[in-house]
Structure 1
């Protein structure tokens, strides 16, 4: 089997395709790399102007190397192999949208420190209990979530889950693409 694509090579290909240095770009897409990217590394810290980064559809298992991305507002890590959100904390003051659907995430404790987060797409993961779900209520601006396909809501009637989620999260304005009506 071939070696995974590393971020340095993926960024070099991106620069060649987009005819600009990655460290000046505000939006970078490194999704669907072949072979897939398996690791996030400190080269990401050089992307100081980046506001939107997509690393979706790779094989990433851990969030790391992002402490220098001070302007990042949208991070897409959907369709990877994440099990937790550990490592997201350096983006607590700036990240507004986190897209992590279709992973293996069971634990979301780091979400609690995300002050700027407004949108969380976390459908099709492995969140099983209300205690973990309730962490979504802690970030003060988080009001739009997708949660379909997690064991917690798969085990309930859709209307029952929606009513319970809305009751537990008073700031919620949108759930699974539908406006919340109270």
Structure 2
């Protein structure tokens, strides 16, 4: 059940259940076979209209494996270009073997028996995820999908309003379906969602009134929400500091200077610094003097090494350029040599064909045939 359609929740469930009842030809649990994959590869359509050959699976972008009684996710290793995967209406109880599908943007796992959201750690391009009508109790395991835009969790076993808070980190999330969960029975369900997920445009297939969002933000759990926002801001600041630090370290690594970044902290860490020294009255000032002196020395060292590294990089660049030029000249020379050899061979063979002696000498004839 995709949130991208205009079909109502009840109709989606009804249609899916009716289709499932019609599928009487598959009664036993199945694993994903080559035959199933061949029949499920729907896009792009081959020019000749024939089914995809397994050797060409890396070109397939859309795979439909619905209503097949599939018991587990497997054998999708060759679908490197897959963007759309439909595994709805099966008997899958665990999400697995999908992390290599890094191009995936749409994943439908609705109408299965999944109890836990997992196995999505590397799907960084995923935009639309449907887990409608499963047995999920917790909203978790989605950190690997930061671009998530549409999420369908309708008709699961989600009960706690606090589970909704876990979706705040997904800033691109616009459509969420939780209809059919016990959490929706809470009197403050709508207010909680609008207060904690103000970025949403649609909730349970209904367009959200922006005035209702403002009212929820101003009147629902104000103190708790303010505390949460402050905590998130602090975490965001820490994350920015971590990224800045990482950028500095990456730059220092290019000059082999990364070991100098936290040298003072390493020299005076709790594991190294004798505790009895810290009580000395003069120790604090001596330590700060040492920090300043070490900082100056590191600054001087970095300037010197950066200059040396700049010279080294220029030499490396010149060397690589010389190698590339030499390879190009060598390839060109080899090309002309092969061309000249073929021309000479053609000329010689043409002359030999005219000589009657060649037919009278079996050994010479065999050598000439080999040259051909």
Instruction: Decide which of 117, 121, 127 is 1:89's aligned counterpart.
Output: 121
> 1:28 aligns to what SS in structure 2?
strand
- Does residue 59 of the first structure (1) align with residue 91 of the second (2)? yes
Tell me which residue corresponds to 2:302. Answer: none
Q: Which has the higher helix share?
A: 2
For 2:143 and 2:179, the matched residues in 1 are separated by: 20
Tell me which residue corresponds to 2:71. Answer: 38
1:113-124 counterparts in 2 under 5 A? 113-124=144-155
Tell me which residue corresponds to 1:126. Answer: 157
RMSD: 2.1
Tell me which residue corresponds to 1:156. Answer: 186
For 2:167 and 2:152, the matched residues in 1 are separated by: 11
| TM-score, normalisation: structure 2 | 0.44
Instruction: Give the C-alpha shift of residue 164 in structure 1.
Output: 2.2
Tell me which residue corresponds to 1:7. Answer: 32
> 1:90 aligns to what SS in structure 2?
coil
> Relative contact order (alpha carbons < 8 A, sep ≥ 6): 1 or 2 greater?
1
- Does residue 178 of the first structure (1) align with residue 206 of the second (2)? yes
Q: Which has the higher strand share?
A: 1
Confirm or deny: 8 A CA contact 1:127 1:133 kept in the other structure. no
Confirm or deny: 8 A CA contact 1:112 1:135 kept in the other structure. no
For 1:18 and 1:135, the matched residues in 2 are separated by: 45
| TM-score, normalisation: structure 1 | 0.88
For 2:64 and 2:96, the matched residues in 1 are separated by: 17
C-alpha offsets along residues 109-155 of structure 1, whole Å, 9 cap, x if unaligned?
112442110000110001110221211222221121111001100x2
Number of equivalences: 175
Counterparts in 2 of 1:108 and 1:25: CA distance versus 1, 3 Å: same
1:102-117 counterparts in 2 under 5 A? 102-117=133-148
Tell me which residue corresponds to 1:23. Answer: 58
C-alpha offsets along residues 53-107 of structure 1, whole Å, 9 cap, x if unaligned?
000000001111112111100000000000111111121x110010110000112
For 1:83 and 1:173, the matched residues in 2 are separated by: 27
Structure 1 gap segments, 5+ residues each: none
Instruction: Give the C-alpha shift of residue 170 in structure 1.
Output: 1.5
Confirm or deny: 8 A CA contact 2:161 2:189 kept in the other structure. no
Larger Rg: 2
Structure 2 gap segments, 5+ residues each: 1-25, 43-48, 211-372
Instruction: Give the C-alpha shift of residue 18 in structure 1.
Output: 6.2
For 1:70 and 1:11, the matched residues in 2 are separated by: 19
For 1:64 and 1:37, the matched residues in 2 are separated by: 13
